A and B are shown apart, each in its own frame.
Chain A
Amino acid sequence: QKEVEQDPGPLSVPEGAIVSLNCTYSNSAFQYFMWYRQYSRKGPELLMYTYSSGNKEDGRFTAQVDKSSKYISLFIRDSQPSDSATYLCAMRGAGNMLTFGGGTRLMVKP
């Protein structure tokens, strides 16, 4: 079993929909949680970064962390076709090594 599990999708939604992306993890040592967006043939781009349990909002994006359930989420409001990409959750403990989920491919249709 992988340390970080993420539904690969693809997830197809109409423009304007609210998107929910999720990851579960098994390693209690993970303390820092990130969401990256990756367009085809590009490097991952950092979207959100959270440390504690709870919510963090940035524009149309909200990251949620529940350490007791080992579950993190990313919500995208008013989704746009330009949001179509692969979304990767990543996490780490005290060191600098990131462990990634497999990525969820999102398609937002006009």
Chain B
Amino acid sequence: KAGVTQTPRYLIKTRGQQVTLSCSPISGHRSVSWYQQTPGQGLQFLFEYFSETQRNKGNFPGRFSGRQFSNSRSEMNVSTLELGDSALYLCASSLREVSTDTQYFGPGTRLTVL
């Protein structure tokens, strides 16, 4: 079974621009979560989507948004980029059908904001 895929793998943007990242979950997985990883803050939860609905949201500003499509693929958007948004953005998928379910991560998209 193919794993979680994320595109693009690398991005370079300038301050003020916006960016869209894409995530395709493992086949059959209906939940997609997004995390930001930085050297200073580590891995932090951004939000989770399940059945095209946002189920949970972390403590990030409204510039960070996402959506999920009917085929469970998800996109994350960051508007008005700031230097501090430079990070590895990770997507994780899970079945979310049983309480003991867990999450599998993709390789990440490394975003650099200049």
Contact = CB atoms under 8 A, between A and B. Distances in A.
A101 B104 CA distance: 17
Determine the main DSSP class of B at the interface with A.
Answer: strand
B70 interface: no
A34 B102 contact: yes
Contacts, number: 57
Interface residues of A, number: 23
Interface stretch (A15-23, A43-51, A60-68, A75-83): A43-51
Contact of A46 (B58, B90, B102): B102
B106 interface: yes
A103 B42 contact: yes
Interface in B35-87: 35, 42-45, 48, 50, 55-56, 58
Contacts of B4: 43
B31 interface: yes
Nearest to A102: B42
Contacts of B94: 96
Interface of B: 4, 31, 33, 35, 42-45, 48, 50, 55-56, 58, 90, 92, 94, 96, 99-108, 110
Given A32-B102, A46-B102, A100-B44, 10 more contacts: A36-B105, A44-B90, A46-B105, A49-B102, A94-B99, A96-B31, A98-B33, A98-B35, A98-B43, A98-B45
